[in-house]
A and B are shown apart, each in its own frame.
Chain A
């Protein structure tokens, strides 16, 4: 028999992330490396661990191999427990039928049995494509204090961007009175972060009703939340004011990486009270060679740096040879930049090799991307904005 849990988290990690282009041609978006030694999913998983939530179902669908291997037993996040832990939940066949996850709500619906094992009072729904540090326990307190059926985490976005988000219009007591998906003329700038806490009995009944409705697209934003509002359920908004970044595009992924290079980054990864955990491998300490030049950069275990790195991130195991120049770029784990090569405003995906004297990216223009394991020939050039992956028709 499993111990009853107060709150169980369900992390939607099934998105393909097609706007990340060739970075997600081999893996789901949450598995994409970030910030030198992390992957995007480390942020919600570490938030769970730090918030005292110890059952996390990770719903995967698109290219799950990398993500499954990464999460493993959940040990890096202290989620390898006998009374809970991290569980990878792919869609599965049942006797009568078996379907892919049709939408966010359907993904949870298909895992009602998983949640029910823990008989929780509350269910936290998360997505796996944001960089942020958030105390879900504080949000849960808010939910309980307001005796809500659903609490939606919101953040105030600049008014001119508000029409890109799902906007929650609230009264003076944080009660949500209206929900507008990408409104042309927003009435408020409280944008939904895609982080929800439901009271479990309510969620369960709404998921079942939603599944029975053939016209529904089985989505939280499009179907469940409007329906609950309509039915007079108690919905509250919980305002989050810390750093939060959607990393759904090449440009925003690059920007979020550049954000942590700031002198005082808005998201403090040094914070010992709220560590971001990641799966670590047995790498040597980084070695900075004679003649290396480092200026405002992040360098990780396993790196060997002999060249010049400016305003850039070198992830685990990166090699930058003598005379190579890295500027305003993100080198993902295992990248090798050969002597005399120059990488500017680029994202170089895992284990790619930049040949001697090659040129990738340009000082202005869009971010250049080199795909996973791709070799850029010595002396070759990859222009700004290009996604270079010769074997994938890129």
Chain B
């Protein structure tokens, strides 16, 4: 039995994803033809032998609940441990709207207390990466630190005016933390993935909330590093990382992962990314189909041109239609002779016959769920 428990926080602010998160929590945003974002941290945890996993929910979590179900697809439906869904609730101290991750953790203290594992791995839900949390906890233990945070030197996830950055010494000690700077002085972007002893987290939550702190990094961690009351260690993420923090980042990530080398870093051999199944038949390619450099899920019917695209389950591309550099989510339809370029189509969206819908590489057009153009 693993001595590590996992906790995924899905309450992030997500307005930069526009309509993609109008209908769902960011953790439930569909990505890469058959996954949702939460599949990546969740699968990394399961692949690291973690059996007790909690998912803290906050916003619009209907589709997230539907996706996770009993946790069966991740083998988390057992009796001894498994998936625990932690939705917000009204108490005498809280109205169920979390101010920040620390606040959310405070509301879920009973779950943390009743768990038995020595260590806890805490992650957000909008970063795409592959991690071996056993390795992270091992390094944490060796370092003698109170808290270990994961960081990446990947320049692709740096953002002006947002993000959390840290200074890491040669021995791995974190000496400074910056939150949302316009220009960061450090190369290391924090992934908002942490590990520590479970008991320590419980006492830190208690201490910090008693001081009126709600934010894990900005208040608790940064404070601890600044006044040297906390020993914080940095663990470098071994895979490439994509931060899905805007529509453009979402689009770029999808296009990047058409490249097989990029796919290999987040889908390593022997560590499958698991997701909810839909039992679609294989995809049918009929006469007229011309497909190039595309990731395609099962259940599609393709009779037109598809180039540099990500097609989710049951997408139909009719005869004479042409779709390039685009993402089409589940049940999308491109009717005959339509032309689509640089577009993200949310679930059940369709583009009618002979319609042209053209975005730009740095500003893809976003078609909302269920909309017909």
- Which residues of chain A have a CB within 8 Å of any CB of chain B? 35-37, 75-76, 263, 269-270, 275-278, 280-292, 294-301, 309, 313-315
- In the assembled complex, the Cα of A301 lies from the Cα of B292 at a distance in Å of 16
A-chain residues with CB within 8 Å of residue B285 when the two chains form the complex:
294-299, 309
Residues 25-54 of B contacting A (Cβ, < 8 Å): 32-34, 43
- In the assembled complex, the Cα of A41 lies from the Cα of B316 at a distance in Å of 29
The reply on B95 being an interface residue by CB < 8 A is no
Rounded to whole Å, the gap between the CB of A392 and the closest CB of chain B is: 29
Rounded to whole Å, the gap between the CB of A144 and the closest CB of chain B is: 30
- Interface code B242-268, partner A: CB below 8 Å = 1, 0 otherwise? 000000000000000000100100010
Rounded to whole Å, the gap between the CB of B266 and the closest CB of chain A is: 10
Number of B residues with CB within 8 Å of any CB on chain A: 36
- In the assembled complex, the Cα of A115 lies from the Cα of B225 at a distance in Å of 67
Rounded to whole Å, the gap between the CB of B314 and the closest CB of chain A is: 8
Q: Which of A276, A280, A282, A296 contacts B281 (CB 8 A)?
A: A276
A287-B277 contact, Cβ under 8 Å, with A282-B272, A296-B286, A298-B282? no
The reply on B6 being an interface residue by CB < 8 A is no
A289-B292 contact, Cβ under 8 Å, with A280-B279, A296-B286, A300-B282? yes
Are A37 and B297 in contact, CB atoms less than 8 angstroms apart? Answer: no
Q: Is the interface of A mostly helix, strand, loop or mixed?
A: loop
- In the assembled complex, the Cα of A296 lies from the Cα of B284 at a distance in Å of 7
The reply on B55 being an interface residue by CB < 8 A is no
- In the assembled complex, the Cα of A37 lies from the Cα of B285 at a distance in Å of 16
B-chain residues with CB within 8 Å of residue A76 when the two chains form the complex:
279
Closest B residue to A316 by beta carbon equals B282
Known: A270-B281, A294-B285. 16 other contacts (CB 8 A): A37-B281, A277-B279, A282-B272, A285-B33, A285-B298, A286-B283, A287-B263, A287-B294, A288-B291, A288-B293, A288-B306, A294-B289, A296-B286, A297-B284, A299-B283, A315-B282
A-chain residues with CB within 8 Å of residue B282 when the two chains form the complex:
35-37, 298-301, 313-315
Are B281 and A285 in contact, CB atoms less than 8 angstroms apart? Answer: no
B-chain residues with CB within 8 Å of residue A285 when the two chains form the complex:
32-34, 295-298, 310
Q: Which of B267, B277, B280, B281 contacts A284 (CB 8 A)?
A: B267
Are A288 and B294 in contact, CB atoms less than 8 angstroms apart? Answer: yes
B-chain residues with CB within 8 Å of residue A275 when the two chains form the complex:
279
A-chain residues with CB within 8 Å of residue B43 when the two chains form the complex:
282
- In the assembled complex, the Cα of A283 lies from the Cα of B287 at a distance in Å of 26
A-chain residues with CB within 8 Å of residue B301 when the two chains form the complex:
270
> Which 3 A-B pairs rank lowest in CB-CB distance, beginning with the nearest?
A282-B272, A285-B33, A36-B282
- Interface code B289-331, partner A: CB below 8 Å = 1, 0 otherwise? 1011111111101100010001000000000000000000000
Q: Which of A283, A292, A300 contacts B292 (CB 8 A)?
A: A292
Rounded to whole Å, the gap between the CB of A282 and the closest CB of chain B is: 3
Rounded to whole Å, the gap between the CB of A350 and the closest CB of chain B is: 16
The reply on B238 being an interface residue by CB < 8 A is no
Are A287 and B298 in contact, CB atoms less than 8 angstroms apart? Answer: no
A-chain residues with CB within 8 Å of residue B281 when the two chains form the complex:
35-37, 269-270, 276, 298
Q: Which of A276, A299, A313, A314 contacts B279 (CB 8 A)?
A: A276
A-chain residues with CB within 8 Å of residue B293 when the two chains form the complex:
288-290
Are B299 and A270 in contact, CB atoms less than 8 angstroms apart? Answer: yes
Are A301 and B298 in contact, CB atoms less than 8 angstroms apart? Answer: yes
Most buried by A among B32, B33, B43: B33
Are B277 and A291 in contact, CB atoms less than 8 angstroms apart? Answer: no
- In the assembled complex, the Cα of A315 lies from the Cα of B296 at a distance in Å of 14
Q: Which of B72, B260, B286 contacts A75 (CB 8 A)?
A: B72
A-chain residues with CB within 8 Å of residue B284 when the two chains form the complex:
297-298
Q: Which of B263, B287, B295 contacts A295 (CB 8 A)?
A: B287
- In the assembled complex, the Cα of A133 lies from the Cα of B199 at a distance in Å of 55
Rounded to whole Å, the gap between the CB of A86 and the closest CB of chain B is: 15
A-chain residues with CB within 8 Å of residue B310 when the two chains form the complex:
285
- In the assembled complex, the Cα of A314 lies from the Cα of B284 at a distance in Å of 11
Closest A residue to B283 by beta carbon equals A299
B-chain residues with CB within 8 Å of residue A287 when the two chains form the complex:
260, 263, 294-296
B-chain residues with CB within 8 Å of residue A36 when the two chains form the complex:
281-282
A300-B289 contact, Cβ under 8 Å, with A37-B281, A75-B72? no
Are B279 and A290 in contact, CB atoms less than 8 angstroms apart? Answer: no
Most buried by A among B32, B274, B286, B298: B298
- In the assembled complex, the Cα of A356 lies from the Cα of B325 at a distance in Å of 33
A-chain residues with CB within 8 Å of residue B286 when the two chains form the complex:
263, 296
Closest B residue to A303 by beta carbon equals B282
Most buried by B among A280, A300, A313: A280
The reply on B202 being an interface residue by CB < 8 A is no
The reply on B357 being an interface residue by CB < 8 A is no
- In the assembled complex, the Cα of A54 lies from the Cα of B264 at a distance in Å of 41
The reply on B273 being an interface residue by CB < 8 A is yes
Are B291 and A292 in contact, CB atoms less than 8 angstroms apart? Answer: yes
